[in-house]
Structure 1
Amino acid sequence: MSQNLSLKLFVVLTKSSKAIQERIKKDINNYGMYNSEFAVLEALYSKGKQTVRQISDAVLINSGSITYVMDKLEAKGLLERTDCIEDRRVVYIQMTEEGKQFMEETFPKHQQVIENVFQDITDNEKKVLIGLLKRVGKKE
């Protein structure tokens, strides 16, 4: 019976994840952004100036794709690159004033969409679910 429950859990988790991702994608698209672009801005908004590698690791986008995403955001005037003086191989990424303003306007609305997705789950249930999913995610 536990195998059937594991399979059912997998299906429910997969469907839930897809539904949540679609809802979030729709919200982000309302701001004229793709998920990857918004994820980069969100990382910079919450952590400040970072290297390309730090952003790539934070948003789970490979280094080849992250450059493309950053090019798009730079063209929109939302971020800028600066070279590291100590190591020419390192490039820092930070939001422009326009990028900060964009995130200050949109992030609270985006956060509210996420709150609405999980509104029927208590804080204690959220903590339990976070712990369970972390435990499952650590298995190989």
Structure 2
Amino acid sequence: MKSAENTDAVHVWLVLWKAYRAVFEAANASIKHLCLGDSDFRVLEVLLHKGPLPVNTIGPKVELTPGSISVAVDRLEDRGLVTRKPCATDRRVHIVHLTTEGESVIKKAFAHHQREMEHLISDLPIQERATLIALLKKLGKSVDSRLQSCRKGKHLD
């Protein structure tokens, strides 16, 4: 007789964490061939899909602190992949733009990354992917809501 799957919250967390680690490691490996680190890839990718953005807008989109985003943009600028230009309406703000080379690098890197990610989850049929996405969104929203309550002085109960 087959035993029931362990559905304790701690076991769910452990399975989720192990899956995340495996996917994260594979995702990083898929972008390393172009000598891009994770944060550089994320900055270039957001600029590719969102267009030029102020430095302080990029940080939250790619989950980097203000100090880390400045270092990342400096590094990308040194490599000739992005430029910073003063905002026309507020010279205190600098807008980050992809250079022609930066656009070429991120398009190539993103296409490769997309193929690699597709290969990674190829064992999941479309319906299972949709279910997984829905469940992860539900979990994320639920946990985020509880954390927000906790920050307001309420307990996680």
Match of 1:77 among 76, 80, 91: 80
Shift of 1:2: 10
Task: Give the match for residue 45 of structure 1.
Answer: 48
1:27 paired with 2:14, answer no
Shift of 1:3: 8.5
Task: Give the match for residue 58 of structure 1.
Answer: 61
Match of 1:93 among 68, 93, 96: 96
1:78 aligned partner, one-letter code: L
The C-alpha deviation readout for 1:53-81, integer Å capped at 9, x for no partner, is: 22111101111100000100000000000
Match of 2:39 among 36, 52, 58: 36
How large is the RMSD of aligned CA atoms in angstroms?
1.7
TM-score, scaled to structure 1: 0.92
Structure 1 moving runs of 4+ over 3 Å:
1-4
Tell me if the contact between 2:30 and 2:112 (Cα under 8 Å) persists in the aligned partners. no
Structure 1 counterpart SS, 2:83: strand
Tell me if the contact between 2:46 and 2:61 (Cα under 8 Å) persists in the aligned partners. yes
Name the larger-Rg structure.
2
2:101 aligned partner, one-letter code: E
Q: Which segment is superposed worse, 69-78 or 20-29?
A: 20-29
Shift of 1:88: 2.2
2:96 aligned partner, one-letter code: I
**Contiguous gaps of at least 5 residues in structure 2:** 147-157
TM-score, scaled to structure 2: 0.83
Task: Give the match for residue 152 of structure 2.
Answer: none
**Contiguous gaps of at least 5 residues in structure 1:** none
